[in-house]
């Protein structure tokens, strides 16, 4: 049984773009991500960390962020999701766990967005359960609202977003628009 949305039922990205505002252009994000890389370098202080990217959303941001960090890193990824192509979350689904040993290591957990935090908290807690000595969370953006689960926050964050549906720069609109070079928000 397929859990994906039939192609005929997927809302149009073109229609969404017409009903959206651009919140952050690529040039501004480039500057913020470079600054974040410098701050992460300072926090790592030469320690080789595991750079653990949350797929699919953090793919573009993670790659760009990694290139700004001078400290040597070991790379791995996880794939955990609550959205599965929809615009609202449900139960957490683990599609891939980390392969690299996290025992006694610092993990730099990289994701595109910290919204309510269910997914990031579950992945962070899993890293600690696997023996990570510390987990630093780096997100491209955080939403401003009061629905965040207790016990999760970003150690490094690029931008704050309004409490609207956002997409682009790794974030999707019904699995579309991840490769847009800006962050968009649907108009209220």
Residues serving a catalytic function are 115
Furthest CA-CA distance within the chain: 51
3-state helix, strand, coil in the chain (%, to 5): 25, 35, 40
Tell me the sheet residues that pair with 78.
54
Answer yes or no: are the C-beta atoms of 171 and 20 closer than 8 Å: no
Nearest to 111 by CA among 65, 70, 69: 65
How far apart are alpha carbons 166 and 172 in whole angstroms?
8
Nearest to 139 by CA among 113, 161, 119: 113
């Amino acid at each position: 049984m397929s859990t994906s949305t039939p192609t005929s039922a997927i809302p149009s990205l073109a229609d969404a773009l017409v009903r959206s505002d651009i919140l952050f252009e690529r040039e501004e994000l480039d500057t913020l991500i470079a600054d974040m890389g410098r701050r992460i370098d300072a926090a790592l202080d030469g320690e080789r960390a595991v750079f653990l990217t949350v797929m699919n959303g953090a793919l573009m941001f993670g790659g760009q962020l990694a290139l700004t960090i001078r400290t040597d890193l070991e790379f791995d990824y996880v794939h955990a999701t609550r959205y599965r192509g929809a615009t609202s979350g449900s139960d957490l689904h683990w599609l891939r766990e980390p392969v690299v040993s996290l025992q006694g290591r610092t993990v730099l957990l990289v994701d595109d967005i910290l919204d309510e935090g269910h997914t990031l908290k579950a992945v962070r807690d899993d890293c600690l359960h696997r023996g990570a000595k510390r987990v630093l969370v780096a997100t491209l953006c955080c939403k401003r609202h009061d629905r965040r689960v207790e016990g999760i926050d970003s150690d490094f964050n690029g931008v704050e977003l309004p409490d609207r549906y956002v997409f682009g720069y790794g974030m999707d609109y019904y699995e579309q628009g991840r490769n847009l070079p800006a962050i968009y928000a649907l108009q209220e």
